[in-house]
């Protein structure tokens, strides 16, 4: 008997006492937990994202889409970055103002070559406000998983408000499990030594996030842009 | 589970050693209290915690009740996505499969993501015996590996070590495993983390084979999920050409949507964060991104035996968050090593004796490694009634009865050594039903209180071995009451 048959046989015998139950899965589990925590305007959701990103020691910047090239150039100069990795699909205008050696994201690149890169600039698939999380799914402008891991400096551009959702359930709805997904909440960190949090163990030690787009004004409900609905719903 | 902790003394004996170690008690107290307070604050942030907990519990319960169906569905999904599924009934079979898979790559080293399942089966030792070196890459696991030590906490395996000890381990042992510790390494956590970064990076960059576990497996899609903080997980999961994941069969969940529950409850319960820094999800293999070959080894190793017990099976809901360790008064004082398995604390006390059976002295003692205070049940994000299972296991130890071992029905005999407990309870009953004797005894005790020993003789020694004997009051309560009529005399 193969181990497969052995294990499945044991499972079936172990469950002999369990009565037959054909309740469809959708009805077997109560889903009365919140789709999002609290009611926020679009502006407030973006603001919460910025706060939670900063709380996990990501450096947050904001600009209008047109200001992106100048801002990215400035951030890369401040970092002293020369070799910058730009994945396929990243709008070429974004890095047009920066003086750099553009490194393409190639399957043939070795991890050692990636280790010699100063900075990587990517977009993202979705950002989660309540948890301060960026999700990359390998789509245009995001590249392979390893490019946001091996270089020490990652700049991630989030288009606001359209790429922002309030909560984890809303993020999962937007994502496809068929793609490789990386969820990033702040830079790499450890608390293994006396529970003292230390940033930057193996991933990028510096994570900068640019919230790019028309930034809705912050405030309570009832303002010009402010429908009290979650962003992207 | 197999021989990882072979020769461990039973819990009371192991705990006693830990209790004499004041550094250990200090480290543990600091760590558990810090994380306990943080967890409570992060959980309070979400208004629907009770609903999330209920949903998580029901998802796991439903999955366990139809485990065969979901495992078959998972196998189909993973295979369709380009992965290969292997089944292992026990530790030996899982180790054999992984060793063979590594050999086929022609490599003699692997990088590892922190994984309870691979520790449970003693994979590193099995690979070592086959001439394959396994490098632990989680910082805490690295500390444990370099220190030739054992993990003592599910989430923070080196919780028993302080910064000075970690510096000494790095200075002494790093060179034997690769890049030596930097000159003049101090005990600052940031410097220690940097030393680990440099030491491990050379291994990540050259690695051809990665080994991991998984926090969740989605039957519907074949997606694997690994939740971590440092990025060592991402390194092992995405840089090598071959990825081998060894995962307990209880880690499967039915649907993609189920992750919305656990991605909210797991980080808040374990590290008390809104979200852990990195979560990786992959489904089979992806052209041009990540490993070219993906192998999933589905591990039983006592899980189906646990599933056979209608009370004890709820232990399989566990998502390994370790919240129960951090609130447990027994764990806080005894530390993780006393439990004699990779699963310490309250969850270990119910999981280990079920996975391994109660044939050994340590496994017989584990159901007693608890005060039954219920704090573990309160914090459990999947509502495992740990006290209920502990009582069930105590009953099994004392009374014996039917159980399943390695898939076969067996009848357990009562364990020896529980006669003293029954005798003590009989003595207590006699004393409480004879008030005169109780009164005389209490007065005698008060007068002789300067002669109070630190430990009790006879069967009472077991009690005082792990506790301080309370002070005897100057006057029995009954006498004080008669003299003061409840303190009125003193206040008026």
Note the pLDDT of residue B455: 76
Contacts of A146 in chain B (CB under 8 A): 234, 238-239, 289-290
Q: Is B43 on the interface with A (CB under 8 A)?
A: no
Domain boundary residue among B301, B317, B337? B301
Domains identified in chain B, total number: 2
Q: What is the structure's pLDDT at B101?
A: 98
pLDDT recorded at residue B459 = 67
A6, A32, A128 ranked by CB distance to B407: nearest: A6
pLDDT attached to residue B452: 73
- How is B112-131 classified by DSSP, letter by letter? E---HHHHHTTHHHHHHHTT
Contact B166 A132 (CB under 8 A): no
pTM score, two decimals?
0.89
Residues 6+ apart with CB under 8 A from B184: none
Name the token pair of A63: 């600009």
Report the pLDDT value the prediction gives residue B3, as an integer from 0 to 100. 43
Residues 61..100 of A with a Cβ closer than 8 Å to B: which? none
**CATH number of domain containing B261:** 3.40.50.10420
- The string over B408-429, giving b where at least 16 C-beta atoms fall within 10 Å of a residue's C-beta and e elsewhere, is eeeebeebeeeeeeeeeeeeee
Residue B145, domain member (yes or no): yes
Q: Is B88 on the interface with A (CB under 8 A)?
A: yes
Both tokens of residue B461? 């020694």
Distance from CA of A161 to the nearest CA of B (A): 21
Is B158 a member of any domain? yes
Structure-block tokens of residue B305: 């035996």
> With 50 as the cut, is the pLDDT of residue A230 above it?
no
DSSP reduced 3-state for A133: strand
Chain A CA closest to residue B166: A193
What confidence score (pLDDT) does residue B25 get? 87
pLDDT attached to residue B6? 61
Residue B273 lies in a domain: yes
**Is any Cβ of chain A less than 8 angstroms from the Cβ of B127?**
no
Q: Which two tokens stand for residue B198?
A: 């440099």
Give φ, ψ of B228 to 5 degrees.
-155, 180
| Residues of chain B positioned with their CB less than 8 A from the CB of A190 | 139, 193, 229-230
Test B288 with A144 for CB contact under 8 angstroms: yes
B333 assigned to some structural domain:
no
pLDDT of residue B444: 80
Q: What's the alpha-carbon Rg for chain A, to the nearest Å?
A: 22
Per the CB < 8 A criterion, the answer to whether A176 and A137 are in contact is yes
Q: Does B373 touch chain A (CB under 8 A)?
A: no
Q: Which of B28, B79, B84, B89 to mutate to test the interface with A (most CBs of A within 10 A)?
A: B89
Residue B114, φ and ψ in degrees, nearest 5: -50, 130
* B260–A168 CB contact, under 8 Å: yes
Q: Closest Cα of chain A to B422: distance in Å?
A: 33
Q: Do B304 and A14 touch (CB under 8 A)?
A: yes
Any A CB within 8 A of B281 CB: yes
Contact B48 A34 (CB under 8 A): yes
Nearest to B190 among A14, A195, A198 (CB): A198
Q: Is residue B320 part of a domain?
A: no
Can you tell me the distance from the alpha carbon of B390 to that of B312, in angstroms, rounded to the nearest whole number? 9
Give the pLDDT confidence of A146-191 residue by residue, as tens digits: 999 999 999 999 999 999 999 999 999 999 999 999 999 999 999 8
pLDDT tens series, chain B, 492 aa: 544 466 778 898 888 888 888 888 888 898 899 999 999 999 999 999 999 999 999 999 999 999 999 999 999 999 999 999 999 999 999 999 999 999 999 999 999 999 999 999 999 999 999 999 999 999 999 999 999 999 999 998 999 999 999 999 999 999 999 999 999 999 999 999 999 999 999 999 999 999 999 999 999 999 999 999 999 999 999 999 999 999 999 999 999 999 999 999 999 999 999 999 999 999 999 999 999 999 999 999 999 999 999 999 999 999 999 999 999 999 999 999 999 999 999 999 999 999 999 889 999 999 999 999 999 999 999 999 999 999 999 999 998 999 999 999 999 988 876 655 656 666 777 777 887 888 888 888 788 777 777 777 776 777 776 677 777 888 888 888 888 887 776 554
Q: Could you count the other beta carbons within 10 Å of the beta carbon of residue B182? A: 15
Q: What is the pLDDT of residue A215?
A: 65
Q: Does the residue B133 lie in any domain?
A: yes
Do the chains contact at B30 and A194, CB–CB below 8 Å?
A: yes
For residue B371, tell me if it sits in a domain. no
CB contact under 8 A, B300 and A111: no
Q: Do B143 and A192 touch (CB under 8 A)?
A: yes
Judge whether B163 is closer than 8 Å to chain A, CB to CB.
Answer: yes
Record: contact B197-A202, CB cut-off 8 A: yes
Query: Cβ–Cβ of B238/A145 closer than 8 Å?
Result: yes
Q: Is ipTM over 0.90?
A: yes
Question: Any chain A CB within 8 A of the CB of B277?
Answer: yes
- Of the residues B246, B279, B301, the one at which a domain ends: B301
Query: Chain A residues with CB inside 8 Å of B304's CB?
Result: 7, 10-11, 14
Closest alpha carbon to A3 in B301, B87, B74, B96: B87
Q: Which helix (H) or strand (E) holds B279?
A: strand B278-283
- Would you say how long chain A is, in residues? 233
Tell me: the pLDDT tens digits for A63-110? 999 999 999 999 999 999 999 999 999 999 999 999 999 999 999 999
Q: Residue A33 and residue B255: Cβ atoms within 8 Å?
A: no
Rounded to the nearest 10 degrees, the angle between the axes of helix B139-146 and helix B163-177 is: 70
Average pLDDT, chain A: 91
- Cβ count near A167 (within 10 Å): 22
Residues of A with CB below 8 A from B257's CB?
A: 169, 172
Asked if B84 has any chain A CB less than 8 Å from its own CB, the reply is no
In what helix (H) or strand (E) does residue B443 lie, and over which residues does it extend?
A: helix B435-447
B196 in reach of chain A (CB within 8 A): yes
Option in A30, A131, A145 nearest B289 (CB): A145
Smallest Cα–Cα separation from A56: which of A127, A120, A132? A132
Please give the residue that has the higher pLDDT: either B414 or A115: A115
B230/A189 CB distance under 8 A: yes
Nearest to A111 among B46, B239, B256 (CB): B239
Alpha-carbon dihedral angle through residues B258, B264, B269, B272, given to the nearest 10 degrees: 160
Between A9, A25, A31, which is nearest B55 by CB? Answer: A31
What secondary structure does DSSP assign to B283-300, as a single string?
ES-BTTBS-SEEEEEEE-
The nearest CA of chain A is from the CA of B87 a distance in Å of 5
Convert the pLDDT of each residue in A16-53 to its tens digit.
999 988 888 989 999 999 999 999 999 999 999 999 99
**How many cross-chain Cβ pairs, A to B, lie less than 8 Å apart?**
251
| CA–CA min distance B48, chain A (Å) | 6
Cβ A200–B197 below 8 Å, yes or no? yes
Whether chain A has a CB inside 8 Å of the CB on B395: the answer is no
Structural domains in chain A, sorted by start? 40-231 (3.40.50.10420)
Say if B475 falls within a structural domain. Answer: yes
Q: A25–B62: do the CB atoms touch at under 8 Å?
A: yes
* pLDDT bracket for residue A8 (50, 70, 90): very high
Given B301, B330, B351, the domain boundary residue is B301
Distance CA A107, CA B282 (A): 18
Q: What residues make up the domain containing B75?
A: 46-301
B274 and A8 within 8 Å at the Cβ level: the answer is no
> Which 18-37 residues of chain A touch chain B by CB within 8 A?
18, 21, 25, 28-34, 37
| Angstrom distances, CA of residue A92 to CA of A75, A122, A144 | 17, 12, 18
Give residue B433's pLDDT. Answer: 80
How far apart, in whole angstroms, are the C-alpha atoms of residue A39 and residue A45? Answer: 9
**Interchain proximity B87–A188, CB inside 8 Å:** no
With CB atoms and an 8 Å threshold, state whether A195 touches B30: yes
At B469 the pLDDT is 74
- B332 close contact with A: CB closer than 8 A: no
In this structure, how many other beta carbons lie within 10 angstroms of the beta carbon of residue B6? 10
Contact state of A11 with B68 under an 8 Å Cβ cutoff: yes
């Amino acid at each position: 008997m193969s181990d497969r048959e052995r294990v499945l046989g044991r499972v079936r015998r172990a469950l002999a006492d369990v009565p037959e139950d054909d309740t469809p899965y959708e009805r077997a589990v109560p889903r009365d937990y919140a789709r999002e925590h609290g009611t926020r305007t679009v502006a407030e959701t973006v603001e919460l994202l910025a706060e939670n990103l900063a709380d996990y020691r990501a450096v947050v910047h904001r600009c209008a889409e047109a200001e992106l090239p100048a801002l990215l150039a400035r951030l890369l100069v401040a970092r002293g970055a020369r070799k910058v990795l730009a994945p396929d699909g990243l709008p070429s205008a974004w890095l047009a103002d920066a003086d750099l050696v553009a490194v393409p994201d190639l399957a043939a690149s070795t991890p050692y070559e990636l280790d010699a890169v100063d900075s990587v600039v990517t977009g993202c698939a979705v950002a989660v406000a309540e948890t301060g999380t960026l999700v990359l799914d390998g789509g245009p402008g995001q590249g392979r998983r390893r490019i946001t891991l091996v270089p020490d400096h990652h700049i991630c551009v989030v288009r606001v408000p359209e790429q922002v959702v309030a909560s984890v359930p809303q993020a999962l709805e937007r994502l496809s499990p068929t793609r490789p997904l990386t969820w990033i909440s702040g830079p790499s960190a450890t608390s293994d030594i006396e529970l003292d949090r230390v940033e930057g163990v193996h991933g990028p030690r510096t994570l900068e996030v640019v919230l790019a787009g028309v930034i809705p004004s912050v405030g309570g409900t009832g303002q010009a842009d402010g429908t009290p609905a979650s962003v992207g719903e | 589970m197999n021989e990882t902790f072979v020769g461990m003394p039973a819990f009371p004996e192991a705990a006693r050693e830990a209790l004499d170690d004041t550094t250990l008690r200090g480290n543990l107290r600091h760590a558990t209290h810090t994380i306990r307070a943080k967890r409570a604050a992060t959980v309070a942030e979400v208004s629907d915690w009770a609903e999330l907990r209920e949903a998580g519990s029901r998802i796991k319960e439903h999955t366990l009740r139809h485990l065969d169906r979901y495992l078959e569905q998972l196998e189909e999904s993973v295979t369709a996505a380009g992965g290969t599924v292997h089944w292992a009934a026990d530790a030996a079979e899982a180790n054999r499969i992984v060793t063979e898979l590594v050999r086929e790559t022609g490599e003699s080293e692997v990088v590892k993501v922190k994984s309870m399942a691979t520790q449970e089966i003693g994979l590193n030792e099995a690979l070592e015996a086959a001439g394959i070196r396994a490098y632990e890459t989680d910082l805490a696991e690295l500390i444990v590996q370099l220190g030739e030590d054992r993990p003592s906490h599910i989430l923070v395996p080196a919780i028993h070590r302080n910064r000075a000890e970690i510096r000494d381990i790095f200075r002494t042992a790093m060179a034997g495993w690769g890049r030596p510790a930097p000159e003049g390494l101090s005990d600052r956590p940031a410097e220690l983390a940097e030393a680990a970064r440099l030491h491990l990076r050379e291994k990540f960059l050259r690695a051809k084979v990665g080994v991991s576990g998984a926090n969740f497996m989605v039957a519907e899609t074949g997606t694997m999920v690994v939740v971590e903080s440092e990025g060592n997980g991402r390194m092992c999961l995405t840089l090598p050409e071959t990825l081998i994941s060894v995962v307990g069969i209880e880690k499967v969940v039915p649907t993609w949507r189920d992750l919305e529950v656990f991605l909210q409850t797991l980080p808040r319960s374990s590290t008390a964060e809104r979200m852990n820094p990195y979560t990786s999800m992959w489904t089979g293999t992806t052209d041009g991104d990540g490993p070219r070959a993906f192998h999933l080894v589905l591990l039983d190793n006592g899980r189906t035996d646990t599933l056979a017990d209608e009370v004890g099976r709820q232990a399989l809901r566990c998502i390994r968050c370790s919240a129960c360790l951090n609130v447990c008064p027994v764990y806080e004082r005894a530390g993780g090593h006393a439990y004699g398995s990779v699963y310490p604390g309250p969850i270990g006390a119910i999981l280990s004796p079920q996975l391994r059976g109660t044939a050994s002295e340590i496994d017989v003692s584990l159901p007693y490694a608890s005060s039954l205070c219920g704090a573990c049940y309160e914090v459990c994000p999947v509502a495992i009634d740990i006290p209920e299972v502990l009582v069930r296991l105590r009953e099994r130890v004392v009374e014996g009865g039917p159980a399943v071992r390695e898939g076969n029905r067996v009848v357990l005999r009562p364990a020896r050594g529980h006669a003293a407990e029954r005798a003590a309870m009989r003595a207590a009953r006699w004393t409480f039903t004879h008030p005169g004797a109780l009164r005389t005894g209490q007065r005698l005790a008060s007068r002789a209180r300067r002669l109070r020993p630190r430990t009790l003789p006879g069967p009472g020694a077991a009690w005082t071995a792990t506790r301080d004997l309370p002070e005897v009051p100057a006057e029995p309560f009954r006498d004080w009451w008669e003299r003061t009529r409840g303190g009125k005399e003193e206040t008026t």
